[in-house]
Amino acid sequence: MNVELPQILTHIVGFLIVFWVLKRFAFGPLLKIMQDRRDKIAADFDEADKARASAEQLVADYEERIKNIEAEARQKIQEAIGEGRRMGAEIKEQAHAEARGIIEKAKGDLVRDIATARVQLKEDIVAMTLAATQKILSESLDDNRHRKLINDFIDQVETAK
């Protein structure tokens, strides 16, 4: 193998010229494109990290909201239960009051009916006694005198009790 010095030098000079031309016109733009691509990829990663962090924050916010909503729902249910119990107690107390009123009215009616019945019974006894006395005596005293005698007799019977 023959190594020729001018040919090697020509190759070296050609290589250096091509290298200088590539460096001057190709490497700069290529390196700039690659650096831009690197920067864009890094920006995309940063943006993705920010989006992921934002999504995680949204998830945490939604979970907190859900917990708050659940707590509010439980509180409203407890309030509704308490209100229901309070209304039930009010209705029960109202029913008891109405029942007591009805009982008191019935007692009053009963006392009045008993008094009316006593008066009616007294009048009936007086009438029966008058009729019986008239039959027995076959003579008629005046009606007022009969009533007075019978009422006096009944009063004496009642006080003797």
CA-to-CA dists, residue 160 to 72, 74, 122, 156, angstroms: 77, 74, 16, 6
Res 143: pLDDT: 75
Res 51: pLDDT: 95
CA–CA separation, 65 and 69 (whole Å) = 6
Res 131: pLDDT: 67
Res 130: pLDDT: 75
> What is the residue-level pLDDT of the chain in tens, covering all 161 positions?
577 898 999 999 999 999 888 888 888 888 888 999 999 999 999 999 999 999 999 999 999 999 999 999 999 999 999 999 999 999 999 999 999 999 999 999 898 988 888 888 888 787 777 766 776 665 455 778 777 877 887 877 777 65
Radius of gyration in angstroms for the set of CA atoms belonging to the chain, rounded to a whole number: 61
Contact 150, 130 (CB under 8 A): yes
The whole-model pTM stands at 0.41
Res 55: pLDDT: 95
Res 155: pLDDT: 79
